[in-house]
Amino acid sequence: MRYGMAIDLKRCVGCNSCTMVCRMENGTPPGILYNRVEKYEIGKYPAARMQFRPIPCMHCQEPACLKVCPTGATYQRDDGIVLIDHEKCMGCRYCVLACPYEARQFLGKIDNYFGPETITPWETVKHQELDKGTTVKCTFCVRRLERGREPACVETCPAQARYFGDLDDPESEVSKIIAFQGGTVLKEELGTRPSVYYVNV
C-alpha cells in the first residue's frame, strides 16, 4: 500500500479551491499554505495561454527532507506518507532548504487573519493544533484517511482534477490514470521519486 496522487493539468482551471479547503482543513495562519497553485503564461500573442500547476507535498519515496533532518522528526510511514513529529522538530529548517518542491514552511510565528489584536473563534480552535517553532507541510490529510475520507483537496476540486489512492495497486483509479495517460513527476532527475504525478502536462 502506497498512497499517491495524480493531478490532471488539462482539467485544472487554477481556481485555488484546493488551496482554500486545505487552509480550512489544517487551520494554517497567514503566510502558510500547504498547497499552492502555480500560474504561468506561455507563448507569444496571439498564440498565448495560461497554465496552472497545483503543488502539494510530493510525499517522495526518497525524501530529501528526511535525509537532512537531524532529530528524526521527519519520518516516512509504511504507506509512503511523509510526516513531521512536531514534538521532535526543533525548527532548524534544513528540510525547508532541502525540499526541491518548496513544500515545507517554517512556522516561526502564528499571525491572526485580522491583525494582532483580534483572533476569530475559528482560529482559537485551530491554533491549538499548531506547533510554533516547527516546520509544517501537507500531510495528505492523514486524519481524513483514518475516517475513510480522501484528502480535502481531492474531494473539493470542482474540476475533479485530482485522483488519490494506492499506487501499489495497478487496478486503483489513480494507478490507471497514471499508466494510461502517462503520468510524470516534477524534477524526476533529482531521484526523489514523488508520489504525486501529473497527467496531461
Partner 1 sequence: MKKAKEVTGHTQKTTSWGKSLPAASAYQWKAVDPAEKGKSLTLYGICGQCMQSDCTTLIHLEDGVVVSVEGNPTSPPNYGSLCPRGNSQIMNLYNPYRVKTPLVRTNPEKGLDVDPMWKEVSWDEALNIIVEKFKKIREKDPRGLLILEGFGNTNSILRDSFARAFGTPNVIGSHGPLCTIHYASCLVHSALPEAVAEMEYCEYLLSFGRSLGPNFATTGGIRRFTKAMERGMKLVVIDPHCSVEASKGEWIPIRPGSDLACLLAMAHVMLNEGLPYDEWFMKNRTNAPYLINSEGNYYRDPATGKPMIWDAADNCARTFDSEFKDIAMNGTYTVNGVACRTAFDLIREEFARYTPEWAEKICTVPAKTIRRLATEFVEHAKIGSTIKIDDFVFPFRPASVNTHRGVNCHRGGTYADLTGKIMNMLVGNIEVPGGCLGNSMRGPLMAPDKDGIVKPQFEADPFPFKFPPDNIDGHEFYPNKHTTPHLAINAIMNPEKYHIGYKIEAWLNFGGNVIRKNAQPERYVEAMKKVPFIVSFAYHIDEPTILADVVLPEHSAMERSLVSVLYPSHQTTGGEVIGFDTVRVRQPVPNLFDTRHCDDIYTEIAERVGFLCGAGGVYDYLNQQKHHALIDDGFYLGNQKLDINRKHSLDEIYDRQMKSWSRGDGRGLEELNKDGFFLHPRSRKEYYTYYFFPENKTRHPFYFESLKKTGETLRANLRMHNLKFPGIENEEYIWEQYRPIPCWIENSEINAPPEYDLWVVNWKSPYCPHDSGNPNGNPWLAELYQQDPFDFTIFLNSATAKKKGLKDRDWITVESRYGKTEGIMRVTELIHPDAVGIPGSYGLGTIQSNPIFREGTHFNALLSLDDKTLDAIAAGQELSPRVKVYKSEAKR
Q: Which residues bind partner 1 (CB under 8 A)?
A: 10-11, 13-17, 19-21, 23-25, 30-33, 36, 38-39, 41, 43-46, 48-51, 102, 111, 113-122, 124-126, 152, 155-161
Instruction: Name the minimum Å distance from CB 139 to partner 1.
Output: 16
Return the number of the residue (76 or 200) whose C-beta is nearest partner 1.
200
Min dist. Cβ of residue 51 to partner 1 (A): 7
CA distance 190 to 169: 25
Look up residue 34 and give its DSSP letter: S
Cis, bond preceding 46 (omega within 30 deg of 0) = yes
- 28: nearest Cα among 84, 118, 109: 109
C-beta of 51 vs 61, nearer to partner 1: 51
* Cβ 84 to partner 1 shortest distance, Å: 19
Nearest distance from residue 126's CB to partner 1, in Å? 8
Minimum separation from the CB atom of position 78 to partner 1 (A): 29
CB 52 within 8 A of CB 39: yes
> Would you say 28 or 195 has its CB closer to partner 1?
28
- H-type alpha helices, the chain: 17-26, 64-68, 94-98, 121-127, 142-146, 152-156, 173-181
Nearer to partner 1, 16 or 76 (CB): 16
Which is nearer to partner 1, 111 or 188 (by Cβ)? Answer: 111
Q: What residue has cell string 510525499?
A: 59
Give the whole-angstrom CA distance, residue 16 versus residue 111: 22
